Amino acid sequence: MKIKINIIKKLLFDILKKNNFSKEDAQIITDEYLEGELQGKHSHGLMAFPSLINKSNNQKTNIEIKKQTNSYIFIDAKGGLGNLVGQKYTKEAIKMANKNGVAVVFIKNMISWLRPATIAQQIAENNMIGLVINSGGKSAVAPPNGFQSMIGTNPIGIGIPAKDKNVIIDMATSKRAWGEVRKALAHETLLPSETYLNKKGEFTNNPNQADSVVPFGDYKGFSLGMFIEIMCGSFIGMPMSLQPTDGDNYRTALRGAMILVLNPAFSANLNNFKNDNQQLVNKIKKSKKRKGFKVILIPGERGLNNKKKNLKNGYLSISAKLWKTLKELD
């Protein structure tokens, strides 16, 4: 069914307000979940919103700054929402990077934000490079040649300023995000082939049988995912390789995260930097295309094209079942 974007936005905002979120916090969270849906990232959009409400109960926690220097902040979120903690301390990191050229924020014990790319995009809009990672909660990714889930899907968000349009990278280190399983279950569709494994170590298209997912790029993807598991785990005193149990929701585990901000003005002329990045993008898009392909897309471009199209239409197509679930939260 087609629902006007402004109606969806108001509904999300009203639900959060009724759950005692402040206007400012409700707006931040509404914008993040709506952004995922606008970009066509349905598993990280509206369908994830009900679990946020069920998990958070508007937990008001006393966030503890465990360590802070001129370019380093280490935070214990104590079960606070990563959406809010991340946005607040990203602003602090940008201020620090303006003065010192670099800033890093480590967060432990947070309820997961929706996508690290949301924060990376915020950083890029402030003319900085952002590298944002977080642990994926319960393990979902099997190592190459294995089939038991051993690390999280451990996503990465990267934001790079460019003259015309910033480059925003948003990816899991698994071949496909575990949200694809939730989406397939909700819509009663099949999973992509040769991506998810059942409990016998066989590939399965059935979302009810999915027990683990393979990494992207075989050993290369798993290596990157393992690095994130460590940086957002043992490096900040968080558990690693948390094993899910039958019927368990991998999103329920508290997460660790890292936000790295780099100021290109400390090593290059900012305008030249952005112009050079745009020229690289333009060259890539004009490069030779394989037979059967009409366009070369830059990372993040498909999502931004979806957003532009949806905003022009003024509505989003969502299932009647999901809309009913959202309405029941109001």
Q: Which of 152-156, 218-222, 223-227, 241-245 has the lowest mean pLDDT?
A: 241-245
Q: Cβ of 234: how many Cβ atoms within 10 Å? A: 12
- Number of domains the chain contains: 3
Q: Is the pLDDT of residue 249 over 80?
A: no
Q: Is 246 found in the same domain as 150?
A: yes
Q: Is 269 found in the same domain as 195?
A: no
Residue 131, domain member (yes or no): yes
Residue type, 122: Q
Residue 76 to residues 62, 64, 79, 232: CA-CA distances in angstroms?
Answer: 9, 5, 8, 12
Q: Is the pLDDT of residue 40 over 90?
A: yes
Q: Is 134 found in the same domain as 47?
A: no
CATH number at residue 230: 3.30.1370.60
- Summarised one tens digit per residue, pLDDT across range 180-203 is 998 899 889 999 999 999 999 999
Q: Is 139 found in the same domain as 122?
A: yes
- Residue where one domain finishes, among candidates 213, 233, 266: 213
Classify 156 in phi/psi space as left (phi over 0), alpha (psi -120 to 50) or beta. beta
Average pLDDT over residues 163-184: 94
The answer to whether the beta carbons of residues 149 and 137 sit under 8 Å apart is no
Residue 53: pLDDT band with limits 50, 70, 90? confident
Residue 251: pLDDT band with limits 50, 70, 90? low
Q: Is 207 found in the same domain as 224?
A: no
Q: Structural domain of residue 190, as residue ranges?
A: 177-213
Q: Is 244 found in the same domain as 152?
A: yes
Q: Is 123 found in the same domain as 245?
A: yes
CATH number at residue 53: 1.10.1530.10
pLDDT at 137: 86
- pLDDT above 70 covers what percent of the chain? 96
Q: Is 13 found in the same domain as 145?
A: no
Q: Which of 9-18, 53-62, 168-177, 300-309 has the lowest mean pLDDT?
A: 53-62
